[in-house]
Structure 1
Amino acid sequence: MLQKRFGKLAATTIAGSMLMAAAACGGGDETATTASPGATGTSAPAASDLKVGLAYDIGGRGDQSFNDAAAAGLDKAKTELGVGQTKELEAGSGETEAAKEERLRLLAQGGFNTIIAVGFAYSGPVKKVAAEFPDVKFAIVDDEAATGANITNLVFAEHEGSFLVGAAAALKSEKNHVGFVGGVEVPLIKKFEAGFAAGAKAVKSDIKVDVKYLSQPPDFSGFTDPAKGKTAAEGMFDAGADVVYHAAGGSGGGVFEAAKAANGKAIGVDSDQALTAAPEVRDVIMTSMVKKVDVAVLDFLKNVANGSVKSGPVVYDLKAGGVDYSTTGGHVDDIKSKLDEYKQKIISGEITVPDKVS
């Protein structure tokens, strides 16, 4: 997500509180394709007047995944919208909520009128700092718990995209055995696991799905430790799996290395990692669960510029094109029609994908 990508979270803000917070806002989530009445603010600044601050999760620009997707959205905003000044700040490993608050506060005090926080670890800090600067528009990726009149929550149906790559894994597995490596065992990453397992079992009900999390909160090193990712994936390949999906941020690089050494296949996450991972491992990445954080970031900045930005959650699901699977390398060309059939069944409601592990 991975989001690296998730490294910043406050364990107390995750789980059921995300759904409870959404309910407390009085009304359901907006989908990314829904119009946005009731915009916050009374006037729209010209795009050139926007001063955008981007606060990354651990890993920052260059993580080949979650943070890079957010950075791509900012880059598109510079090109397509002509936004004015921008500033990007990275998170440190193991930092406190106070450090995250200070990062956001420095941007707001520095005159940045639009601030985007990448990752649910910013939940508490965004809620606190947004209340201090009511004239600044805030967005947070992957969190619904931070609420406020000037906060937009950019959230995704990761379980739906993960269902598709789970189906791909099962269709491609010759051993009826696949694996999932999660960075940190938190509710957000459990959504990836739930969707992946459901997709695999929709294809082959008796398929074996191995699951391994690299760390437990409050230890979030599982998102930034390729060696741990490699060890976990090696164990799965040694045990008989032939396809392994990761939702582990920077640790995913180790999963790709293990797949390469085992002559197995891997599935990337967030970005099309067959394009962004180290060149020597790209050929083992059969597909990626693409989470279009770049689209969400660009949409948010467009809405700020045209005065239609609204507070509360905006959901980027499969129907809205917010998640999908990638086809780079041609590894899934032969099963694309089947994957697209599953996609349409999810969009139509014929298939409901679980977002929790049963």
Structure 2
Amino acid sequence: MKKWLRTLTMTAAAIVTLSACGAGEEAPQTDGEAAPGGEEAVEATDFTVGMVTDVGGIDDKSFNQSSWEGLSAFGEEFGLTEGTDYRYLQSGDMSEFEPNIRQLVREDVDLVWGIGFLMEDAVRTIAEQVEDSQLAIVDSVVVDADGNTYPNVANITFKEHEGSFLVGVAAALQSNTNKVGFIGGVEGALIKKFENGFKAGVKAVNPDAEIIVQYAESFNNPDRGSQIANTMYSQGADIIYHAAGDTGNGLFTEAINRARNGEDVWAIGVDRDQHEEGAYGDGQSVTLTSMVKRVDTAVQIVSERTMNGDFPGGEVLEYGLDDEAVGIAPTTDNMSEEALQAVEDYKAQIQAGDISVPQSDEEYEDFLSSL
């Protein structure tokens, strides 16, 4: 059984046991001990969870949408009511992050999610001001001035560089021009993991390949994404990978327009299987593959743990290839057999520790020198 599924099954069993006790009855404890985490587990009907989106919103077809899908799946599985037991607040811009998180905390929501590393400052502020809150953040580790995590914040991270390496391998093998591109959203340590992992995968297969990199400095500007993609394709890149949220949807628009005009170009999606985002014509798609990141499953697992009295406050939870939390999308219609086999071969090497995938620019330069 997959690690993700095993974790969900174990925690689900705990909730079933709890619910079977009936209203007003306490779940039996072993040797008089409290539930895991030192807190009493609560019944599903007493649990509330809220999510504050980044500026892309829950229909960005990427990161925020995956998070909401995970929270919705959690709520539906345990019979929670959308809008009361589980819900989201959408942020129009960064200035709304802290007020939105604060609103949910003031309403005594049991677990409040901040979706995206841009919410780090907002989560830190609330964590310090409301010590009995239970907060979770995706793609960041929130620390105090001394570098310590907060006991009321669960930090969810992923090894995006590992999954990005694999789509880089695919891009290198299927490029006809030996030139590929990467579009980033807001430049920072997180998106650099996507960029450097991708570049390393390309270079591992084809050291002579050219890689064009540009940042949009926005996760919510599809028009900007289209403009950057247009420039890269015009410069000869035939495959472009994005890690840019809603901005990346502009990449698909540009790729589809060019494909309809007979050009042989591809796009690589991110966070979730974006095959449909590249769909056009009669069952065709410009999406070569996607680097999936199971934010949805992470949201489910942590929400479920918290509902079961096992809130992972102060912990840094990192999910990667070994957890099947990152990798290529299940839709592989446009990938060659050679590329699929190479992806599996390189995946095995990463898992065996034979390849250390770079995350930063410095690590990438070291990686290049080792080729």
Q: TM-score, normalised by structure 2?
A: 0.80
Q: Match for residue 153 of structure 1?
A: 155
Larger relative contact order (CA 8 Å, sep ≥ 6): 1
Per-residue CA distance 1:173-205 (angstroms, 9 max, x = gap): 111111111112212111111000000011111
Aligned with residue 325 of structure 1, among 324, 328, 335: 328
**2:111 alignment counterpart:** 114
2:86 corresponds in structure 1 to: 86
- Matched residue type, 1:109: R
Q: Which residue of structure 2 lines up, in the alignment, with residue 336 of structure 1?
A: 340
2:60 to 59, 63, 66: 63
Structure 2 residue 353 is the aligned partner of structure 1 residue 352: no
How much has 1:258 moved relative to structure 2?
2.0
Instruction: Give the structure 2 partner of residue 196 of structure 1.
Output: 198
Q: In the alignment, what sits opposite 1:13?
A: none
Residue of 188, 205, 208 corresponding to 1:206: 208
The one-letter amino acid of 1:354's match is P
Report how far residue 145 of structure 1 moved.
2.4
C-alpha displacement of 1:300: 0.3
Q: Could you tell me which of 162, 167, 171 is aligned with 1:165?
A: 167
1:124 to 115, 121, 125: 121
Matches within 5 A, 1:23-42: 40-42=37-39
Aligned to 2:99: 102
Determine the C-alpha separation between the residues in 2 that align with 1:279 and 1:135. Answer: 47
Contact 1:81–1:302 (CA<8 Å) still a contact in 2? no
Higher mean displacement: 175-184 or 144-153: 144-153
In 1, the alpha carbon distance for the partners of 2:278 and 2:79 equals 31
The one-letter amino acid paired with 1:214 is A
| Offset of residue 41 of structure 1 | 4.8
- The amino acid of 2:325's aligned partner reads G
Matched, 1:241 2:245: no
Matches within 5 A, 1:131-146: 131-146=128-143
Deviation at residue 280 of structure 1 after TM alignment: 3.2
Question: Quick check: 1:327–1:333 contact (8 Å CA) kept in 2?
Answer: no
The offset of 1:266, in angstroms, is: 0.5
Of residues 333-342 and 176-185 in structure 1, the stretch that sits farther from structure 2 once superposed is: 333-342
**Which digits, 9 at most, give the CA deviation of each residue in 1:247-295, with x for residues without a partner?**
11111121112222143001001111113x2643970001001011001
Deviation at 1:323, TM superposition (A): 0.7
Q: 1:116 to 1:39 in 2, by over 3 A?
A: farther
**Separation in 2, partners of 1:145, 1:130:** 9
Which amino acid in 2 is paired with 1:293?
A: V
Q: Is residue 307 from structure 1 mapped to residue 309 from structure 2 by the alignment?
A: yes
For the Cα contact (< 8 Å) 2:104–2:112, is it kept in 1?
yes
Aligned position for 2:298: 296
Opposite residue 301 of structure 1, the aligned amino acid is S
User: SS of the counterpart of 2:216?
Assistant: strand
Q: Summarize the Cα distance change of 1:41–1:56 in structure 2 as closer, same or farther, 3 Å threshold.
A: farther
For 1:41 and 1:50, how far apart are their aligned partners in 2? 17
Once the two structures are TM-superposed, the CA of residue 333 in structure 1 deviates from its matched residue by: 5.0
Distance in structure 2 (CA, Å) of the matches to 1:352 and 1:324: 16
Give the conservation status (yes or no) of the 8 Å contact 1:179–1:210: yes
